[in-house]
Amino acid sequence: MMTKKMTGFMLLLMVAFVSKVQGIFKRLKAPLQNQAGATIIEILGYALLAVLAIVLVWGLLSGWLPAFFNKITGKLDSMS
């Protein structure tokens, strides 16, 4: 049977362990953040979305995107 002192000590050990793990994760994450706190993954994700939006708009304006879509759907129709 655990006493209150042992339970408190175990709780203290768990809190210390969680605190230590959080510190390790912060140190590992720090080089991946810029000054505003954004990680490289977030920055690359937004850049990818911007590039996709530009390609989509350019494809619609130049007309190659609808032709490309029709070509794909035509091949799918011929397969079935």
For the chain, the domains span 1-32, 37-80
Contact 32, 40 (CB under 8 A): yes
pLDDT of residue 2: 57
Q: What values do phi and psi take at 33, rounded to 5? A: -110, 145
**Band of pLDDT at residue 11, cut at 50, 70 and 90:** confident
How does the average pLDDT of the chain come out, rounded? 81
pLDDT of residue 33: 65
The pTM of the full predicted model, rounded to 2 decimals, is: 0.46
